[in-house]
Structure 1
Amino acid sequence: MWSYILKRLLLMIPTLLGVLLITFIVVQFVPGGPVEQYLAEARAGQAGGGDAGAFAYRGGQGVDPKRLEEIKALYGFDKPAHERFLQMLGQFARFDLGQSFFQNKDVWALIVEKLPVSISLGMWTFLISYGVAVPLGVAKAVRAGTRFDLVTTLLVLVGYAIPGFVLGVALLVIFGGQLQWFPLRGLTSGNWEELSWGARIVDYLWHITLPVTAMVLGSFAVTTMLTKNAFLEEIRKQYVLTARAKGLGDRQVLWKHVFRNALIPIVTGFPAAFVGAFFTGALLIETLFSLDGLGLLSYESVIRRDYPVVLGTLYLFTLIGLVTKLISDLCYVWVDPRVKFD
């Protein structure tokens, strides 16, 4: 197994380099970079009657060439593309993600600043989804074909069919606007610092209810149906019939024999789901409920061509994804010793 782990770790290097290289090449051909945005703002300021000396204009020809070179040097565009790429790899090897062009902060600082919102959304979605979907899937497998199974399947699939953003709008209009039971925006109230600890918890849960509800309903279906199908497949196997023939009760057969084997495809997905909860980016939900998280940070960085943030977060999330995938594969051995990597 150690040779397999070493091989997977070595394969992460070309995979990571490939992702960064492709993204870096695409970035070079995308118009509207930071230099172009600076020039556009300069022309807009000149057209609006701004200080002409501030931009050193020469008639209608644009920015002074020396000033233009200074701008390119400021953003690092005075070097050839391959040198900038190698410099970026050197920084990433030291886990230096660079500094944002427009927010005057390190990329690490921006990620840490936005992470609490994404953790709140992702962790609650993860816990509620698995905490409800797994028991529901087991109950559906035990009662397969009954009215309970049919009704819950219909409800789960309807929830899955409704986009989270549409559901979020409906929740805001009904419970936030008309009934005014929940706040319309933010993760906490403005006077949160002045509240007691108990009041802070209540205030936080009050704010997080609607966005988590909008995110969690769509994730029920996959986990619920996966759990149900896994249990049904195990229940029909020969060892279950043998256990019942020996006189074991249905509950003992289900939880002692079927449960471990049926949870293999679910448990192996825990690492990815758990780690993803810390770095989830629900762009539409964050925008709708005015939550400043990683999803909104990534979107704004792409729109503003803030390349250090785009490439830095891409590097970090890709690395975490590769490591998480390896951990998920290793969980197969932990859950089922019959699996051999060789």
Structure 2
Amino acid sequence: MLLNYIFRRIIWSIPFMFAASLVAFALITLPPGDYATTYAQSLAQSGDIVDTARLNALRERFGLDQPFFVQYFKWIGGVLQGDFGVSFEWQQPVATLIWERLGLSFFLEISTLVFAWSVALPLGIYSAVRKYSVGDYLASIIGFIGLAVPNFLIALVLMYVAVVHFGSDVSGLFSPEYRDAPWSWAKFVNLLGHMWIPIVILGTSTVAGLTRIMRANLLDELHKPYVATARAKGLSEFQLILKYPVRLALNPFVSTIGWAFPQLISGAVITSFVLGLPTSGPLLLQALLAQDMYLAGAFILLLSCFAIIGMLVSDILLALVDPRIRYR
């Protein structure tokens, strides 16, 4: 029954991905004009002469003069074959431009989610079990600050403190000697050494939110009759809490993966600009401003697929964690 549920849930994710691709392509073609229009505006601003025949040739070359659905099916047909098209602005295959940046974005977001869970789960349990203690009040204060302060502001403060008081640069994901170097074990170790700073910045608000959720869920479970019955049977307090109320309180906690993952993706865009991270956010914004439809569409499509995968993982974990889940 469980395997059947997981299989059906995976199958249902496929039409969602096609719907996400259609919405993504519609969004990048929605603004008035196209890449040729943006290119003409940039030429005019620099004082160059705008050649109408050249712009028409540019539209014909990239198929910008074709109807919406013709452009969409041409694009999605190439995507299904692994061809994301050619970037108008960079004049390079889109796949060449996005894979390393998307890989770094995905690694950063997964690491942030693992960090957030590792901190929020024990902190939420402690706050619920030691309700109204000094530790609970301290965790609540930190949680409210984490929810109220934007990630980019934390990044700016951290950069100021690092430069002024420690004389070090915390921006980027690599040291200068590794930025353009080919991948190696030394470069990966250098990446891990720089990764903790954006992880802490991006994970602050997520930790704060998940801690409050876990605390509220566990407080609802701690005073139910089954907990008193298990305590009367002689179970130790530690075993009792982990075996029964924590497991049931994990249900809403696990379901937050569905929104935490897209939230990390959107929150990482501004933080990437502030910290100068070579992730997908800055390149995506540049592609949107230039109306580079194939580059922007590939980013939006793949980031949407990551969000759908996050929802899928959330549903599967719920089925594994909570025995009350009904697969029908």
TM-score for both structures, normalised by structure 2:
0.84
Q: Residues of 1 paired with 2:43 and 2:80: CA distance?
A: 36
Query: What is the identity, as a one-letter code, of the residue corresponding to 1:211?
Result: P
The CA deviation at 1:237 is: 1.3
Aligned match of 1:239: 226
Deviation per residue, 1:134-165 (Å, 9 max, x gap) = 11111111101222212221122112211111
Larger Rg over CA atoms: 1
Aligned match of 1:165: 152
Aligned match of 1:266: 253
Q: Residues of 1 paired with 2:99 and 2:118: CA distance?
A: 28
The CA deviation at 1:307 is: 0.5
2:285 is matched with which residue: 286, 295, 299? Answer: 299
Aligned match of 1:84: 71
Distance 1:226 1:300, change over 3 A: same
Alignment of 1:316-331 (within 5 A): 316-331=302-317
Give unpaired runs (5+ residues) of structure 2. Answer: none
* SS at 1:179 equivalent: helix
The CA deviation at 1:268 is: 4.5
Contact preservation (8 Å) 2:258, 2:310: yes
Query: What is the identity, as a one-letter code, of the residue corresponding to 2:199?
Result: V
RMSD: 3.2
The CA deviation at 1:292 is: 1.7
Aligned match of 2:39: 38
Distance 1:132 1:7, change over 3 A: closer
Give unpaired runs (5+ residues) of structure 1. Answer: 49-56
Aligned match of 1:174: 161
Q: Residues of 1 paired with 2:118 and 2:291: CA distance?
A: 40
Alignment of 1:81-230 (within 5 A): 81-176=68-163, 178-192=164-178, 201=189, 204=191, 207-230=194-217
* SS at 1:105 equivalent: coil
Identity %: 27
The CA deviation at 1:35 is: 0.7
* SS at 2:87 equivalent: coil
Deviation per residue, 1:39-95 (Å, 9 max, x gap) = 2344456x35xxxxxxxx7xxxx5253x33321122211322232122223223334
Distance 1:108 1:189, change over 3 A: same
Query: What is the identity, as a one-letter code, of the residue corresponding to 2:122?
Result: P
Contact preservation (8 Å) 2:172, 2:194: yes
Query: What is the identity, as a one-letter code, of the residue corresponding to 1:36?
Result: T
Q: Residues of 1 paired with 2:103 and 2:52: CA distance?
A: 44
Distance 1:82 1:217, change over 3 A: closer
Deviation per residue, 1:243-265 (Å, 9 max, x gap) = 11122221221123333222233
- Please state if 1:72 is matched with 2:73: no
Number of residue pairs matched? Answer: 324
* SS at 2:244 equivalent: helix
The CA deviation at 1:314 is: 2.2
Shifted more, 7-16 versus 102-111: the winner is 7-16
Q: Residues of 2 paired with 1:10 and 1:120: CA distance?
A: 25
Shifted more, 309-318 versus 282-291: the winner is 309-318
Shifted more, 288-297 versus 87-96: the winner is 87-96
Query: What is the identity, as a one-letter code, of the residue corresponding to 2:280?
Result: L
The CA deviation at 1:11 is: 4.8
Aligned match of 1:334: 320
Query: What is the identity, as a one-letter code, of the residue corresponding to 2:234?
Result: G
Q: Residues of 2 paired with 1:10 and 1:18: CA distance?
A: 14
Shifted more, 178-187 versus 234-243: the winner is 178-187
Contact preservation (8 Å) 2:273, 2:282: yes
The CA deviation at 1:127 is: 2.7
Aligned match of 2:51: 63
Distance 1:248 1:215, change over 3 A: same
TM-score for both structures, normalised by structure 1:
0.81
* SS at 1:261 equivalent: helix
Distance 1:73 1:298, change over 3 A: same
Deviation per residue, 1:90-137 (Å, 9 max, x gap) = 223334322211122332222212134324532442232211111111
* SS at 2:166 equivalent: coil
Q: Residues of 1 paired with 2:84 and 2:77: CA distance?
A: 10
Q: Residues of 2 paired with 1:12 and 1:321: CA distance?
A: 11
